[in-house]
Amino acid sequence: MGCARTYQEAVTQLKLSRPDVLLTDVILPDRTGAEACREITETFPGIRVLFLALHQEKAAVYSAVLAGASGYVLKESARDRLIPTIELVADGHSIFEQDTLMEVQNWVRKTQDPDGLLDWNLSPQQSRLVELLAKGRRNKEIAEAMDLSEKTIRNYLATVFKKLHITHRSQIISLYEKRHVDE
């Protein structure tokens, strides 16, 4: 566990401690939280980013989702639930207000280039994994359905993330829904 005030301090701490979840604010002294999230998830792919914010501003939430954040919670509402929320994020869950996440997904659906994003080139196993993920299944449930270990599922997810040039489960769900609406 570590604490940092700036992005640069956070990177130093991440190299030393390699946490499962990084808590961040929307604005840091040396960059935005979204910029930090994007750079951290690219540099440290296994680390999930959870935003703790004072206000639920749509632009900040959109930026967080598009940067690959695993969640966005208000500091005040998270007080009593912070540890369980961190544990959920560490287990691969997304923590966003449902209405806001759907708005972001609709916006992505309208603005992204389907030719570039939906040329998936996934194996049958990876496609099955994406389908189960899009249906809201957790890693453990996916592992049971595919008769694989949770570790194998995490490895498949990492490969799918890399192939699709994304960093977060919600992005897979959005892409899956877009693909199946257009077919």
pTM (two decimals):
0.59
Give the pLDDT band of residue 165 (cuts 50, 70, 90).
confident
Q: What is the location of CATH 1.10.10.10 in the chain?
A: 112-182
Highest CATH level, class, for 7-97: alpha beta
Give the pLDDT band of residue 42 (cuts 50, 70, 90).
confident
CA distance 120 to 118: 5
Give the pLDDT band of residue 118 (cuts 50, 70, 90).
very low
- Asked whether residue 50 carries a pLDDT value surpassing 60, the answer given is yes
Burial 60-84 (b: 16+ CB within 10 A, else e): bbbbbbbbbbbbbbeeeebeeeeee
pLDDT at residue 117, rounded to an integer: 42
Q: What is the location of CATH 3.40.50.2300 in the chain?
A: 7-97
Burial 173-182 (b: 16+ CB within 10 A, else e): bbbbebeeee
- Asked whether residue 154 carries a pLDDT value surpassing 50, the answer given is yes
Which CATH number applies to 112-182?
A: 1.10.10.10
